[in-house]
C-alpha cells in the first residue's frame, strides 16, 4: 500500500486543461490496476493532490440541473466566465480567483475502501483548517461540503465538494473560498440549494486578504494526519 501522495501546485490554470490532466492521471492509475489484476502483478499505484486556482468558471455535475445556471451564453462571456458539464457528482458550482481547489487523485485501496469515509475526511481537513482561524464550521445534514451556522437562517457554505470514483480511484475534489469575489455566486443557485448563502474566509475574518499558501499548508497537514499519508513533491 503506497501512502505517499505527490503534491503538485499548478498555480492558476484553465479548467478544461486541468480536467484533462486529471483524467490523464486518473486513467493511468486505473490502467495500472487493471494490468495488476490481469497479469497478477503487484505494481505500486501512485497518488496525487493537485492544488489549483481557476479563472472564472461554472461547472455542472452529472446529476445537476442546468436551470441552476442563471446566465445565458452572452452573459457568461460578459462576465469573463466559462461553463462546463462534467463527470463529478453534485450540482452547479463556481470556481475562480481567490479559491483553493484541491483535486485528490488517490487509489483508495492504498488507504481504505470507503467513499463515504473519503468524503468525510475531505470535509474534516477543511473543518480543522478553518478551526485554526477561529471559525466553527461543520456539515449540513444531507448536503456535502463545509458550512457555517448550519441549522440557522444564516447557514452559508464555505467549501464545496464533488468527486468521481471508479475502481476505488478518485478525481475532482473540494473548492474552498478564501479570497473570493462572492458576486459570482449570484449567477447560480449554488449546488442547487435555495435559501442558503455562500461565504469566503476573508469575509468571515473581516480582512482584505488571507494568505492562501498558509491555508494550503494547513489543509495538507490535516490530510496527512487523516489519511496517515506522506506528501512528496
Catalytic residue positions, numbered:
191
Q: With beta carbons less than 8 A apart as the criterion, state whether 223 and 189 touch.
A: no
What's phi and psi for 106, nearest 5 deg? -115, 145
Q: Is 173 annotated as a binding residue?
A: yes
Q: Is 225 annotated as a binding residue?
A: no
Q: Is 162 annotated as a binding residue?
A: yes
DSSP summary character for residue 89:
S
Q: Is 175 annotated as a binding residue?
A: yes
Q: Give the DSSP letter string of 179-221.
A: S--GGGGGGB-GGG-TT-EE--HHHHHT-S---HHHHHHHHHH
For residue 226, give Cα distances in angstroms to 27, 33, 229.
25, 24, 8
For residue 64, give Cα distances in angstroms to 34, 46, 84, 188.
31, 31, 12, 12
Q: Is 34 annotated as a binding residue?
A: no
Q: Is 11 annotated as a binding residue?
A: no
Give the residue from 180, 189, 10 showing the smallest Cα distance to 95.
180
Q: Is 192 annotated as a binding residue?
A: no
d(CA 128, CA 217): 12
Q: Is 90 annotated as a binding residue?
A: yes
Positions at the binding site for substrate? 88-95, 160-162, 173-175
Amino acid at each position: 500500500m503506497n501512502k505517499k501522495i505527490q503534491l503538485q501546485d499548478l498555480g492558476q490554470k484553465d479548467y478544461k486543461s486541468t480536467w484533462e490532466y486529471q483524467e490523464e492521471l486518473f486513467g493511468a492509475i486505473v490502467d495500472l490496476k487493471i494490468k495488476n489484476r490481469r497479469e497478477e502483478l503487484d505494481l505500486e499505484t501512485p497518488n496525487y493532490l493537485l492544488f489549483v486556482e481557476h479563472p472564472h468558471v461554472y461547472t455542472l455535475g452529472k446529476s445537476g440541473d442546468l436551470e441552476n445556471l442563471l446566465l445565458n451564453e452572452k452573459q457568461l462571456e460578459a462576465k469573463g466566465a466559462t461553463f462546463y458539464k462534467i463527470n463529478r457528482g453534485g450540482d452547479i458550482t463556481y470556481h475562480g480567483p481567490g479559491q483553493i481547489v484541491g483535486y485528490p487523485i488517490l487509489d483508495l485501496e492504498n488507504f481504505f475502501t470507503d467513499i463515504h469515509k473519503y468524503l468525510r475526511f475531505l470535509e474534516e481537513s477543511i473543518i480543522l483548517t478553518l478551526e485554526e482561524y477561529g471559525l466553527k464550521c461543520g456539515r449540513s445534514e444531507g448536503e456535502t461540503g463545509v458550512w457555517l451556522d448550519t441549522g440557522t437562517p444564516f447557514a452559508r457554505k464555505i467549501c464545496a465538494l464533488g468527486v468521481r470514483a471508479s475502481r476505488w480511484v478518485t478525481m475532482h475534489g473540494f473548492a474552498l473560498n478564501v479570497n473570493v469575489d462572492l458576486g459570482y455566486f449570484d449567477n447560480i443557485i449554488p449546488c442547487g440549494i435555495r435559501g442558503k448563502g455562500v461565504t469566503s474566509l476573508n469575509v468571515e475574518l473581516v480582512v482584505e486578504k488571507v494568505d492562501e499558501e498558509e491555508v494550503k499548508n494547513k489543509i495538507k497537514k490535516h490530510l496527512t494526519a487523516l489519511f496517515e499519508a506522506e506528501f512528496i513533491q
